[in-house]
Amino acid sequence: MTEVTTTEHEVYEAITDTPPCYLREPEEELTPIDYPRYKSSVLRHPKQPLIYLPQNITEITGPQLGSSILTGHFDNDLTRQHAGEPLGERITLTGRVFDTEGKPLRSTLVEIWQANASGRYLHKWDRWPAPLDPNFSGAGRCITDDDGRYSFVTIKPGPYPWGNHYNAWRPAHIHFSLLGRAFAQRLVTQMYFPADPLFPYDPIFQAVPDEAARQRMVSRFAPQESVPDWALAYEWDIYLRGPGATPFEEAL
C-alpha cells in the first residue's frame, strides 16, 4: 500500500482549516431518501427515523486517498486512456471544490464516471442497445490543486432510456464522488448540462426539492475557456458542507 506523504507544514495548515463540526442542513432541504416517483427508492430507504449522531472524531476525520490511488495514466483525461480517441463531443470540465463558507478544498479526491456519447455505460448490466466505444471507459480521477480546482477532459455523455416509467430518459449527466476531508462531508452526486430539455421529466433531478438547489447540479457553458479547434468548455463548482454553527452542542 502506498503511503501518502504530507509535510508538517501541510498538517499544521490542515489543523487550522478543519472545523470541529460540520453544517447540518435541515432535512427538508436535502434530497429526500423516500421519493416514490423514483420507483427503486421505495424499498431502499429507512422508514424508521434517523437517529441524531453528534459529530465527534470519527465523523470529523476522514481518509485522504490522494495520489496513491491514481494510475498515472491519463487519470483525468478520459479521451486518452485508449489507443484511439473516443467518438463524441470533446469537452473540458473544470471547477472548484468549496465548503459552504467558500473556502477551497485542496488535495481532495474527485472521482467521475459516465456513459459514452451514445448514452451507453461500459458495464455488464447496461443493456441499452447503443454502441460501446472501444476507446472510452468513462472513468476519471483528479486531486484538487491549492485553489480547490479539478480538471477533466472527456466527451459529452448522451442521454439514455431507463425503466422507471413509460418512455423515461435520463438527462445527460456525469457522476461525481467526493470524499472531502471528513466522513461528514461525503458527497455522491450527478452533474448535468445547461438547459437540458429532459429536466422536467427526470425524477432523479426533480427529487431535489428546491429549484435553486437543482440548479447547483447544472454546469455552465464557458465560451471563454473553450479551446479553438479542439474542445468546448464547461465549468461546475461543488459545495460540500462547511463548519457547523453549534460545535458545543455536538461535543460529548
Partner 1 sequence: MIYGTTPSQTVGPYFAIGLPWPEGPLAVTPDAPGAITITGVVYDGAGEVVHDSLVEIWGADPEGRFADLWGYGGASSVAGFRGFARYAKEDGDGTYELITLKPGAVTLPSGVVLAPHLDVHVFARGMLRHVDTRIYFADEATANAADPILSSVPQERRETLIATATDNGYRFDIHLQGSGETVFFAL
State the Cα angle at 247 between 242 and 251, rounded to 5°.
130
Find the shortest distance in angstroms from Cβ 16 to partner 1: 9
Given the rule CB under 8 A, which of 83-91, 115-123, 148-156, 225-233 is the region that contacts partner 1? Answer: 115-123
Q: Judging by DSSP bridges, how do beta strands 149-155 and 238-240 pair with one another? A: unpaired
Choose, from 82, 149, 175, 220, the residue flagged as catalytic: 175
Given the rule CB under 8 A, which of 14-22, 84-92, 143-151, 219-227 is the region that contacts partner 1? Answer: 14-22
Write the burial class of residue 93 (CB in 10 Å: 0-12 exposed, 13-18 middle, 19+ buried). buried
Interacting positions 55-94 with partner 1 (CB under 8 A): 55-66, 69
Enter the C-alpha cell of residue 129.
442497445
Interacting positions 129-158 with partner 1 (CB under 8 A): 137-141
Find the shortest distance in angstroms from Cβ 100 to partner 1: 5
Q: Judging by DSSP bridges, how do beta strands 90-99 and 232-235 pair with one another? A: parallel
User: Which amino acid is residue 216, in one-letter code?
Assistant: R
Choose, from 170, 181, 234, 241, the residue flagged as catalytic: 170
To the query of whether residue 175 is one of the catalytic residues in this protein, the response is yes
To the query of whether residue 22 is one of the catalytic residues in this protein, the response is no
Find the shortest distance in angstroms from Cβ 240 to partner 1: 7
Number of residues that bind partner 1 (CB under 8 A): 95
In the complex with partner 1, the residue whose CB is nearer, 90 or 181, is 181
To the query of whether residue 9 is one of the catalytic residues in this protein, the response is no
Choose, from 22, 150, 160, 234, the residue flagged as catalytic: 160
What three-state secondary structure class fits 15?
Answer: helix
Find the shortest distance in angstroms from Cβ 230 to partner 1: 25
To the query of whether residue 160 is one of the catalytic residues in this protein, the response is yes
Could you give phi then psi for residue 200, rounded to 5 degrees? -65, -20
Site track 20-59 with partner 1 (rule: CB under 8 A), x = hit? ---xxx-x-xxxxx-x--x-xxxxxxxxx-xxxxxxxxxx
Could you give phi then psi for residue 115, rounded to 5 degrees? -80, 165
Report the chain's terminal Cα–Cα distance, integer Å: 34
Binding partner 1 (rule: CB under 8 A), the pick from 85, 101, 145, 225 is 101
Find the shortest distance in angstroms from Cβ 140 to partner 1: 7
Give the residue among 76, 70, 73, 142 at the shortest CA–CA distance from 105. 142
To the query of whether residue 170 is one of the catalytic residues in this protein, the response is yes
Q: Is the distance from CB of 188 to CB of 176 less than 8 angstroms?
A: yes
Interacting positions 183-242 with partner 1 (CB under 8 A): 183-184, 186-190, 204-205, 207-208, 212-214, 216-217, 238-242
Within 10 angstroms of residue 121's Cβ, the number of other Cβ atoms is 19
Which residues on adjacent β-strands are paired with residue 143? Answer: 109
Residues labelled as active-site residues: 121, 160, 170, 173, 175
